[in-house]
Amino acid sequence: MKVNKIELKGFRNINEMCIEPDSAVNIIYGENAQGKTNILEGIWLFSGLKSFRGAKDRELVGFGNNFSKLKLDFEAFSRNQKAEITVINKRAATLNGVTLPSPTAMMGKFNTVIFSPSFMSVIKDGPSERRKFIDAAICQLKPNYARILSEYNRLLQQRNVILKDISVNAQLYDMLDIIDEKISVSGQAVIDWRKEYLSTLTPFIVDIYGGLSSGREEISFNYVKKSDERNEKTLSDILKEKRREDILNKITLAGPHRDDIEILLNGFSARSFGSQGQQRSCALALKLGEAAVIEKETGEKPVILLDDVMSELDVLRQDYILNHIKDRQVFITCCDPSAVLRMLGGKTFNISKGEIV
């Protein structure tokens, strides 16, 4: 997967810009608020998903413009391809001249992985962020998983409705038996998929994190199931065991919707004990690991977008990023141009007021 050319018109603070990037490392640098992240956002939109900043489509259109136009020439699956996105109130996309039914139809056609500062929440915040990460990563690769996950969530809602009323309606016990049988199957499938993904992801991350820390730190993961510290029960066992408590609390207390993925550095929780640089390295390793799994599954290396990844990292870690992930295309934004000097090869773009200078 490679961007050959990207053109942005009337997009955010960019009036008109054309970039022909290097096939390996590209650095986009400049002062704050000049348009660096906007460029990454423009590339990202071709993945078919909405903005990684959670922006509404119409917010993408540059002030004073009626629409934005984004054009991408890219190489994927050994073919040169062209895609276009027009944003008026909503996004619309074409691929190789054909209008797509929806921009999400770009999914799987142009793969990118983005690290943005908001992704730090996967390390710093509660378990739901880590569940979101792993679920999104699997969904991207296996549409079947998205179906199972939404089935589980639907059953979970039904179960919780039953738990609310069961104390005043004993007839609901039969319904609870039926729903527990079903939810045990789909919930166990969610757990199994996540564990399988984690076991594919782990060796890549161990390798990347080892490189980032010059072999001084070791990263590892644990899939942590609520009410199953020793990791030996099935979801069906857990639901049976917790049933009384669930009825008392009127909510399902255990299951994949409450599980966590513990991230450890040299055996200690990265969330509780990691330094800022270590936490950033972990988040970055997760993203680069995600990219490696996509490559393994699809045979294509996704384009990597790293927004403001350099800050808080020491020179050794920065150099690893600059010079050791160049077998794929990477776009890196930063404020400090000194990183540019340490880069071996690649292209640099200095951005000021939405223009390349």
Ligand X SMILES: Nc1ncnc2c1ncn2[C@@H]1O[C@H](COP(=O)(O)OP(=O)(O)OP(=O)(O)O)[C@@H](O)[C@H]1O
- Residues within the interface to Mg ion (CB under 5 A): 36-37
Minimum CB–partner distance for residue 357 and Mg ion (Å) = 17
The window from 58-66, 92-100, 135-143, 239-247 that contacts ligand X (CB under 6 A) reads 58-66
By C-beta, is 35 or 103 nearer to ligand X?
A: 35
Containing 263, the helix (H) or strand (E) segment is strand 260-265
Minimum CB–partner distance for residue 15 and ligand X (Å) = 9
- Spell out a b/e string for 249-281, using b for 16 or more CB atoms within 10 Å of the CB, else e: eeebbbbbbebbbebbbeeeebbeebeeebbbb
How far lies 153's CA from each of 87, 145, 150, 183, 300, in Å? 33, 12, 5, 9, 32
336: helix, strand or coil: coil
Residues pairing with 19 in the sheet = 6
User: Applying CB under 6 A, does 63 fall inside the site for ligand X?
Assistant: yes
Which residues neighbour 112 within 8 Å (Cβ) at sequence distance 6 or greater?
1, 43, 44, 46, 47, 302, 303, 304, 305
Binding-site partner at residue 13 among Mg ion, ligand X, none, CB < 5 to 8 Å by type: ligand X
Task: Work out which of 33, 136, 178, 316 binds ligand X, going by CB under 6 A.
Answer: 33
Scanning residues 9 to 28, which ones bind ligand X (CB under 6 A)?
Answer: 12-13
Containing 305, the helix (H) or strand (E) segment is strand 303-307
The window from 33-41, 136-144, 203-211, 226-234 that contacts ligand X (CB under 6 A) reads 33-41
By C-beta, is 22 or 308 nearer to ligand X?
A: 308
Contact pattern from residue 323 through residue 342 relative to ligand X, giving x for each residue in contact according to CB under 6 A and a dash for the rest = ----------x-x-------
Unique residue bearing structure tokens 């609310």: 164
Task: Work out which of 3, 17, 26, 38 binds ligand X, going by CB under 6 A.
Answer: 38
Task: Work out which of 19, 29, 34, 320 binds ligand X, going by CB under 6 A.
Answer: 34
Phi, psi of 59, rounded to the nearest 5 degrees:
-70, -15
User: Applying CB under 6 A, does 59 fall inside the site for ligand X?
Assistant: yes
| Contact between residue 316 and residue 324 where contact means Cβ atoms under 8 Å apart | no
Binding-site partner at residue 43 among ligand X, Mg ion, none, CB < 5 to 8 Å by type: none
Residues in contact with ligand X, counted by CB under 6 A, come to a total of: 17
By C-beta, is 308 or 312 nearer to ligand X?
A: 308
Polymer length in residues for the chain: 357
User: Applying CB under 6 A, does 37 fall inside the site for ligand X?
Assistant: yes
Residue 72 CA to residue 60 CA, distance in Å, equals 17
Which residues of this protein are in contact with ligand X, per CB under 6 A?
12-13, 30, 32-38, 59, 61-63, 308, 333, 335
